[in-house]
Structures are given as structure tokens and as C-alpha cells.
């Protein structure tokens, strides 16, 4: 593995996930060493979100994808607890309902995109329709093949209408998934998360990796970049995500809105 690895693949790169080390921890060699930066960047994010929310000018869509046990729930919990809950909406896309399946696959997604001033967090997303759908042949190949372009069109439309998009793929190794499944099996506080179906899915590990490589190759643009987050170490995963979101909001240079009229001289009556 290389000593340094990009967070975002080059936009013309054919992604091979074996080039990305899920154990990578950047400049840190331990959790303790990263603690100071992680805390600082989380606090920075929480502070920046206040002006972002007040300004109501930008909207931010953050998509999380990963294989089972990849850490989507944990990352969302750790990064966004501390943010004003009035400014964040988390949507978990589960197995589609009969009603949702009777529509195109973007139908259930679109209503959850963020309004101005808001952060929408997707726990899974429309990408499942080229991932689980592909691996399990839920629709014919000629149908899902067209979806890469459709998703790119959809995300570009959102971007062109004022939505900033960040996409995080949480990259863990097959060995780490094994350890996490064992932990869910054995820890009474985690057993409720143990899903026997995850063992079935684990058999398709290689097919999922391949499907993800297509997603990361075909749907990666400057206006909607994929971040391949080394996620074997939860602390590094959370640090990278918090820093990335913080830097993104920072670049928006949000300001508290100015009063529309001269309010300084207004007297508040008793």
C-alpha cells in the first residue's frame, strides 16, 4: 500500500478498491494522536453549521454508502450529534415498499433533498439501485446500466440548482467486516443489529466491491465527488468525514443575514 492515498479518486480514474487501504490513517499513528484534531474539527463543523443554517442560502446533501457493518450509522451519529438538530435531517433508505417500487427509483429520494439552510444526510440512497439491485439481479442489466447516467443527471440538476453534494464510501476490509459481525454476535448491546441476512450478503463481497468500483468510477465529479474513506479505524473515519464537511461549509463563507431595514433605532415598547 502507498504511504499516502487520495480521499477523492481522480475524476477520470478507473477505481480499483484494492489500491485503497482501509487501514490508512494519514498523518496519525493512533487514536490518541488524532484526538486533538478530531475534536477541533468537530467543534469547527458545529460552529460553521450555525451560520450556514442562519444564512439559508446553501443546501447540503451528504450521502453515505458502505457494505454491511461499514459504519454508516456510527459515522452519522458521531459526526452529526453536536450539530443543531433543527438543521439536520437524516433519512435511512431501507428496502423499498410496494408503493415505492411502483415508481421510478428516484421518486422516494427526491422529497428528502435539502431545503436551503439544511443538511440532508442519506443513510444509503439511490446508489442502492445500482448496488444491491445489480448484485441480486433485481432488475435486468439493460435497466440498471442506464442508471449511472440517470443518477449523474439527477445530481447535476441538484447541483445546478444550488445543492452542494458530498458522497462518502466507507471502505472496510473483509477481515474487518468479520470482526464487526463477531462483535455484534457477542456484545449484548449490539446483538439487535445482528442480521443473519448479512451473512448471506457477505458471500457476495467480491460482487459488491466490483459494483462499488463502477459507482466510484462512473459517478465521480467535481460537483458531486466520491470520498473513499478508510474506515477500518472508526476514529479516523469520523475525523475525515467531519473535516471534509467542515471544509466544505467553510468554503461557502456563510454570513449571518443582515437585517433588511434599519433596526438599530427601533424602540421596543414596554
Q: Which residues bind a copy of itself (CB under 8 A)?
A: 46, 54, 73, 76-77, 80-86, 88-90, 92, 121, 123, 174-175, 178, 181-182, 185-186, 188-189, 191-192, 194, 196, 199, 202, 256-259, 261, 263-264, 266, 268-270
Q: Please give the helix or strand (H or E) that residue 186 lies within, else none.
A: helix 174-186
* Cβ distance to a copy of itself smaller for residue 133 or 166: 166
SS3 31: helix
Q: Are 5 and 20 in contact (CB under 8 A)?
A: yes
Q: Do the Cβ atoms of 31 and 89 come closer than 8 Å?
A: no
Ranges of beta strands (E only) in the chain are 59-66, 88-92, 119-123, 163-171, 226-230
Closer CB to a copy of itself, 69 or 244, in the complex: 69
In the complex, the smallest distance separating the C-beta of residue 175 from a copy of itself, rounded to whole angstroms, is 8
Least distance between a copy of itself and beta carbon 153 (Å): 28
Least CB distance to a copy of itself at residue 181 (A): 5
CB-nearer residue toward a copy of itself: 54 or 106: 54
Q: Measure the CA–CA gap between 263 and 270, rounded to whole angstroms.
A: 17
3 state SS of 165: strand
Closest distance of CB 37 from a copy of itself, Å: 21
**Residue with smaller CB distance to a copy of itself, 158 or 181:** 181
- Specify whether the CB–CB gap between 61 and 113 falls below 8 A: yes
Amino acid at each position: 500500500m502507498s504511504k499516502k492515498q487520495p480521499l477523492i479518486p481522480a475524476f477520470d480514474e478507473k477505481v480499483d478498491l484494492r489500491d485503497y487501504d482501509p487501514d490508512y490513517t494519514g498523518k496519525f499513528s493512533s487514536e490518541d494522536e488524532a484526538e486533538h484534531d478530531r475534536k477541533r474539527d468537530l467543534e469547527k463543523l458545529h460552529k460553521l453549521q450555525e451560520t450556514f443554517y442562519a444564512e439559508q442560502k446553501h443546501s447540503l446533501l451528504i450521502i453515505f454508502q458502505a457494505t454491511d457493518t461499514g459504519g454508516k450509522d456510527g459515522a452519522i451519529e458521531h459526526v452529526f450529534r453536536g450539530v443543531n438538530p433543527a438543521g439536520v435531517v437524516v433519512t435511512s433508505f431501507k428496502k423499498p415498499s410496494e408503493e415505492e417500487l411502483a415508481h421510478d427509483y428516484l421518486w422516494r429520494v427526491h422529497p428528502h433533498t435539502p431545503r436551503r439552510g439544511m443538511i440532508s444526510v442519506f443513510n444509503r440512497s439511490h446508489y442502492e439501485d445500482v448496488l444491491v439491485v445489480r448484485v441480486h439481479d433485481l432488475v435486468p442489466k439493460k435497466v440498471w446500466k442506464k442508471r449511472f447516467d440517470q443518477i449523474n443527471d439527477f445530481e447535476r440538476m441538484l447541483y445546478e440548482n444550488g445543492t452542494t453534494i458530498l458522497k462518502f464510501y466507507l471502505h472496510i476490509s473483509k477481515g474487518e467486516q468479520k470482526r464487526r459481525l463477531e462483535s455484534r454476535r457477542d456484545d449484548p448491546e449490539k446483538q439487535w443489529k445482528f442480521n443473519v441476512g448479512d451473512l448471506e450478503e457477505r458471500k457476495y463481497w467480491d460482487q459488491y466491491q466490483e459494483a462499488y468500483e463502477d459507482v466510484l468510477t462512473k459517478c465521480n465529479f467535481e460537483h458531486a465527488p466520491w470520498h473513499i474513506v478508510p474506515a477500518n479505524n472508526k476514529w479516523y473515519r469520523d475525523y475525515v468525514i467531519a473535516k471534509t464537511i467542515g471544509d466544505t461549509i467553510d468554503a461557502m463563507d456563510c454570513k449571518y443575514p443582515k437585517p433588511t431595514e434599519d433596526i438599530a433605532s427601533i424602540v421596543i415598547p414596554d
